């Protein structure tokens, strides 16, 4: 069974799109719509648009869009049924019983949580088993890193044997099918069709979500078994999304936030860093799971606090990763500080070397991210040398031009002028120039990207656009009007044949639309876009939201405009058809003759259309 239409409509009605979206991004009024910087792509000028009246959002930068259900799907990284259930919970609407779609998915996820928990226990017992010679190496490694027994237990560390099938056999004995084990990313299938353990000869770090479910694993190799990956993390599974989870967030979330012990997260690169920080009392440490920080991570952290201290490795890779993280965190309004690690290569080594009191001192006054950058530039050059001094100032201005807030740019500009003993007006002018160059460049890039997408080069959603760009534009306008004003469908249904839609994608949408209205309980008055979008991917829904948000025809002209566009579409299609089919005949005519004949035929057709339309009115 699928969710009933009435239930989906109720969900949309009770969850106001403006209210839901503004829980994640701050919205600003712009004309009749609301805008924000898009949470789904990185941008400095807002192209993410929400229409409260149409109950739709669309981003003109990255082309995603949809209704409140699509929004929750995308921002919470959920599939359609899970997003619907979440929205139902928010609106306190009971989910209809016996919904196969949702149940099946929930059961699958629950099984994966169970397999993971079973495996975590297996790995743990393996590690602490004094009779297991193999795991002694693992324990030794853990002790050398200064991790004590209670911490091992607290984090549920374990050991995966250096064997091809020990875990698979164990789980099979417990009644889990090979398919389920594979879905949980615990075993894989070889070319010969054999199921083998994925994690072999590794110290295992269970990844636990904020609800306490074991959602996946990270593994560090400690046996030389030919596997060259030092760290291996679970891939995304139905129960785990790397980009949306942080290591140790299950503990850190209790330590961070208003009225909690800390008002900031410490963001590290590695699991071991996090563990040694927790052991030293810094229970606010988290790490991204073997991936670079994503926008999702940034939004996840900003739910708990608006302050993050970065504690990345001090090598070049760490610096680059830190720069990227700082950019993403800044975009969601998080204040970023940098932990100064001195000569230690990572936070773990810092604690080993200097102890936790010293770390505590460093954390009392961590350097601001920008100050840290400016200091690094200052130290790189010999300021007494004029040429070097100019280089340092230019580099610093480039850096400050990357800041989005004008006030912030100015504050640092004054600081910079002071530091290098130069006129502040010159510095401010330079930063302003660089910043506006950057904004201009980003805007052109966005426009170019958009053009490429909509002009067909990258249009995966509607590939026919390349062949029939003009017709596709008209089709989209017609669909946009019809979806926004379903009450006019009866007026045009007789003249709007599905075959008039030259592009396959738009024809599919029109048929879904037609079907939704004609099978609906009370025709077009009960039409809602959920009846279409539920059968589409978020990318396809993005196309629909664009058609709907673009529609801006005044109420009184709608019927007339619809007829005009339908006529124009037919005319345009004829032009394309002629180009392809009767090329010889067309070539025999002069341009003037051709244009005349075309006009005549089109006028005839338009008259016919108008007549049909008139008849429909009576
Ligand atoms: Zn976007």
pLDDT given for residue 616 in this prediction: 58
In angstroms, what is the span from residue 368 Cα to ligand 1's centroid?
29
Distance 249 CA to ligand 1 centre (A): 27
Alpha carbon of 49 to ligand 1 centroid (Å): 9
Residue tagged 């058809």 (tokens): 577
Q: How far is the CA of 292 from the centre of ligand 1 (A)?
A: 20
Q: How far is the CA of 445 from the centre of ligand 1 (A)?
A: 13
Dist CA 399 CA 367 (whole Å): 16
Neighbours of 540 (CB within 10 A): 18
115/232 same-domain check? yes
Are 281 and 348 in the same domain? yes
Compute, in angstroms, the gap from residue 316 CA to the centroid of ligand 1.
Answer: 30
Calculate how far, in angstroms, residue 243's C-alpha sits from the geometric centre of ligand 1: 17
Q: How far is the CA of 36 from the centre of ligand 1 (A)?
A: 10
Measured in angstroms, how far is the CA atom of residue 64 from the centroid of ligand 1?
A: 6
pLDDT at residue 95, as a whole number: 83
Asked if residue 158 lies in contact with residue 206, where contact means CB atoms within 8 angstroms, the answer is: yes
Supply the pLDDT for residue 184: 93
Distance 44 CA to ligand 1 centre (A): 11
Distance 606 CA to ligand 1 centre (A): 40
Q: Is residue 336 part of a domain?
A: yes
CA 235 to chain centre: 17
CA torsion 475→477→478→482, rounded to 10°?
Answer: 140
448 located within any domain:
no
The pLDDT value given to residue 602:
54
* CA 362 to ligand 1 center in whole angstroms: 38
Distance from the CA of 476 to the center of ligand 1, in angstroms? Answer: 20
Query: Do 490 and 567 have their domain in common?
Result: yes
Ligand 1 centroid to residue 39 C-alpha, Å: 7
d(CA 73, CA 539): 12
555, part of any domain: yes
Question: What is the pLDDT at residue 618?
Answer: 46
- Say yes or no: 154 and 226 in one domain: yes
246: nearest Cα among 221, 267, 273: 267
Q: Is residue 291 part of a domain?
A: yes
Rounded to the nearest angstrom, the distance between the alpha carbon of 138 and the centre of ligand 1 is: 45
CA 48–ligand 1 middle distance (angstroms):
6
The conformation of residue 237, written as its DSSP 8-state character, comes to: B
Q: Where are the alpha helices (DSSP H) in 67-148?
A: 68-75, 80-90, 100-128, 133-144
- In three-state form (DSSP H/G/I as H, E/B as E, the rest C), the secondary structure along 353-399 is HHHHHHHHHHHHCCEEHHHHHHHHHHHHCCCCCHHHHHHHHHHHHHH
Asked if residue 195 belongs to a domain, the reply is yes
* CATH label of the domain that carries residue 53: 3.90.580.10
d(CA 38, ligand 1 centre) in Å: 4
Asked whether residue 517 falls in the same domain as residue 575, the answer is yes
Q: What is the CATH number of the domain that holds 321?
A: 3.40.1360.10
How many angstroms separate the alpha carbon of residue 94 from the centre of ligand 1? Answer: 32
Cα dihedral: 235, 239, 242, 246 (round 10): -130
Measured in angstroms, how far is the CA atom of residue 514 from the centroid of ligand 1?
30
Using the 8-state DSSP alphabet, how is residue 220 labeled?
A: E
Centre of ligand 1 from the C-alpha of residue 295, in Å = 12
Give distance in angstroms: CA of 480 to centre of ligand 1.
Answer: 20
Region label for 77, one of left (φ > 0), alpha (ψ between -120 and 50) or beta (otherwise): left
- Same-domain status, 590 and 527: yes
43 Cα: distance to centroid of ligand 1 (angstroms): 8
Q: With helix as H, strand as E and coil as C, how does 310-351 read?
A: EECCCCHHHHHHHHHHHHHHHHCCCEEEECCCCCCCCHHHHH
Angle at 509 between CA 505 and CA 512, to 5 degrees: 140
The answer on 379 and 332 residing in a single domain is no
Distance 109 CA to ligand 1 centre (A): 29
Ligand 1: distance of its center to the CA of 254 in Å?
32
> Cα–Cα–Cα angle for 114, 141, 351, nearest 5°?
100
Ligand 1 is an ion; residues with CB less than 5 A from it: 38, 40-41, 59, 61-62
Distance of CA 68 from the midpoint of ligand 1 (Å) = 16
Residues 6+ positions from 512 with CB-CB distance below 8 Å: 531, 532, 535
> Where is the domain boundary, 385, 411, 442?
442
Question: What is the rounded CA–CA span in Å between residue 198 and residue 187?
Answer: 5
Q: Is residue 97 part of a domain?
A: no
3-state SS record for 12-42: HHHCCHHHHHHCCCCCEEECCEEEECCCCCC
Domain count within the chain: 5
Residue 286 host element (H or E):
strand 285-288
37 vs 28: CA distance, rounded Å: 10
- Specify if 334 maps to a domain: yes
Q: Ligand 1 centroid to 42 CA: how many Å?
A: 7
| Cα–Cα distance, 495 to 555 (Å, whole number) | 21
- Does 502 lie in the same domain as 435? no
How close is the Cα of 236 to the center of ligand 1, in Å? 23
How far is Cα 237 from Cα 180, in angstroms, rounded to an integer? 11
User: How far does residue 325's CA lie from ligand 1's centre (Å)?
Assistant: 19
Residue-level pLDDT at 398: 92
Domain hosting residue 12, numbered range = 5-90
Q: Among 361, 382, 407, where does a domain finish? A: 361
| Tokens 């928990």, located at residue | 117
Q: Do 484 and 610 share a structural domain?
A: yes
**Ligand 1 centroid from CA 21, angstroms:** 14
Calculate how far, in angstroms, residue 296's C-alpha sits from the geometric centre of ligand 1. 13
In the reported structure, the alpha carbon of residue 308 is separated from the centroid of ligand 1 by a whole-number distance in angstroms of 25
Q: What is the distance in A from the centroid of ligand 1 to the CA of 327?
A: 16
> What distance lies between CA 138 and its chain's CA centroid?
37
C-alpha 30 to ligand 1 mean position (Å): 17
Enumerate residues 6+ apart whose C-beta is below 8 A from 524: 486, 487, 489, 490, 517
Decide which of 361, 383, 412 is a domain's last residue: 361
- Å from CA of 65 to ligand 1 middle: 9
- Do 315 and 414 have their domain in common? no
Residues in the chain where the model's pLDDT stays below 50: 1, 456, 581, 583, 586, 618
User: Which pLDDT score, from 0 to 100, does residue 522 have?
Assistant: 67
- Quick check: is 277 in a domain? yes
Output the CA 58–ligand 1 centroid distance in Å: 8
Residues 74 and 140 in one domain: no
Question: Are 359 and 350 a contacting pair, CB within 8 Å?
Answer: yes
23 C-alpha to ligand 1 centroid (Å): 17
Give tens-digit pLDDT for 56-96. 999 888 788 899 999 998 887 777 888 898 999 999 988 88
Strand order in the sheet with 367-368: 246-247, 285-288, 265-268, 307-311, 335-338, 367-368
**Ligand 1 centroid from CA 188, angstroms:** 36
Q: Which CATH number does the domain housing residue 186 bear?
A: 3.90.980.10
Q: How far is the CA of 37 from the centre of ligand 1 (A)?
A: 8
CA 29 to chain centroid, in Å, comes to: 24
Which of 276, 302, 158, 184 minimizes the C-alpha distance to 238?
184
Task: Find all residues with CB under 8 Å of 127, minimum gap 6, and list them.
Answer: 135, 138, 139, 152, 157, 158, 159, 203, 204
Q: If you measure from the C-alpha of residue 27 to the centroid of ligand 1, how many angstroms do you get, rounded to a whole number?
A: 14
260 burial type by CB count under 10 A (0-12 exposed, 13-18 middle, 19+ buried): middle
For position 605, what pLDDT does the model report? 61
What pLDDT, on a 0 to 100 scale, did the predictor assign at position 588?
57
Rounded Cα–Cα distance for residues 262 and 284 (Å): 7
Do 30 and 78 sit in the same domain of this protein?
A: yes
Separation CA 356–CA 342 (nearest Å): 14
């Amino acid at each position: 069974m699928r969710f009933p239409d009435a239930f989906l409509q109720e969900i949309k009605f009770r969850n106001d799109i403006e209210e839901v979206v503004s829980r994640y991004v701050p919205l600003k009024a712009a004309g009749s719509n609301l805008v924000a910087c898009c949470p789904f792509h990185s941008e400095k000028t807002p192209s993410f648009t929400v229409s409260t009246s149409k109950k739709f959002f669309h981003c003109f930068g990255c082309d995603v869009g949809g209704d409140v259900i699509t929004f929750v799907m995308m921002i919470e990284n959920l599939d359609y049924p899970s997003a619907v259930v979440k929205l139902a919970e928010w609106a306190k609407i009971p989910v209809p019983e016996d919904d196969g779609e949702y149940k099946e998915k929930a059961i699958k996820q629950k099984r994966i949580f169970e397999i993971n928990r079973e495996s975590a226990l297996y790995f743990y017992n393996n590690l602490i088993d004094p009779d297991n010679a193999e795991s002694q190496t693992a324990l030794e490694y853990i002790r050398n890193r200064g991790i004590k027994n209670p911490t091992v237990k607290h984090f549920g560390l374990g050991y995966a044997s250096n064997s091809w099938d020990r875990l698979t056999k164990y789980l099979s004995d417990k009644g889990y099918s090979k398919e389920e084990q594979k879905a949980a990313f615990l075993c894989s299938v070889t070319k010969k069709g054999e199921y083998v353990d994925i994690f072999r000869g590794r110290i295992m770090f269970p990844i636990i979500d904020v609800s306490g479910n074991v959602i996946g694993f990270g593994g560090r190799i400690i046996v030389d078994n030919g596997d060259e990956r030092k760290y291996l993390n679970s891939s995304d599974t139905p129960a785990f999304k790397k980009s949306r989870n942080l290591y140790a967030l299950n503990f850190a979330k209790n330590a961070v936030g208003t009225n909690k012990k800390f008002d900031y997260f410490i963001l590290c690169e590695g699991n071991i860093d996090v563990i040694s920080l927790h052991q030293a009392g810094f229970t606010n440490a988290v790490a991204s799971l073997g991936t670079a920080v994503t926008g999702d991570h940034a939004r996840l952290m900003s739910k708990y606090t608006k302050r993050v201290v970065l504690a990345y490795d001090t090598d070049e890779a760490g610096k680059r990763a830190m720069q990227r993280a700082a950019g993403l965190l800044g975009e969601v309004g998080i204040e970023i500080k940098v932990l100064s690690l001195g000569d230690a290569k990572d936070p773990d080594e810092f604690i080993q070397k200097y102890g936790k009191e010293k770390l505590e001192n460093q954390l009392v006054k961590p350097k601001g991210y920008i100050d840290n950058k400016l200091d690094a530039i200052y130290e790189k050059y010999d300021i007494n040398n004029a040429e070097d001094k100019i280089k340092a100032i230019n580099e610093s201005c480039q850096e400050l031009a990357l800041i989005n807030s004008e006030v912030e740019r100015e504050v640092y500009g004054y600081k910079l002028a002071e530091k290098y003993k130069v006129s502040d007006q010159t510095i401010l002018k330079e930063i302003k120039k660089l910043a506006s160059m950057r904004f201009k460049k980003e805007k052109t890039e966005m426009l170019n990207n958009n053009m490429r997408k909509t002009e067909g080069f990258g249009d995966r959603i509607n590939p026919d656009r390349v062949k029939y760009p003009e017709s596709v534009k008209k089709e989209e306008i017609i669909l946009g009007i019809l979806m926004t004003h379903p009450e006019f469908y009866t007026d045009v249904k007789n003249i709007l044949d599905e075959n008039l839609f030259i592009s396959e994608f738009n024809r599919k949408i029109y048929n879904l639309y037609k079907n939704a209205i004609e099978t609906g309980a009370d025709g077009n008055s009960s039409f809602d876009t959920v009846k279409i979008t539920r059968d589409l991917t978020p990318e396809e829904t993005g196309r629909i939201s664009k058609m709907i948000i673009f529609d801006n025809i005044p109420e009184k002209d709608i019927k007339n405009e619809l007829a005009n566009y339908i006529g124009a579409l037919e005319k345009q299609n004829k032009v394309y058809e002629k180009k392809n089919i009767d090329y010889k005949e067309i070539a025999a005519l002069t341009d003037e003759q051709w244009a005349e004949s075309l006009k005549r035929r089109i006028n005839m057709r338009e008259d016919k259309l108008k007549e049909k339309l008139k008849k429909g009115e009576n």
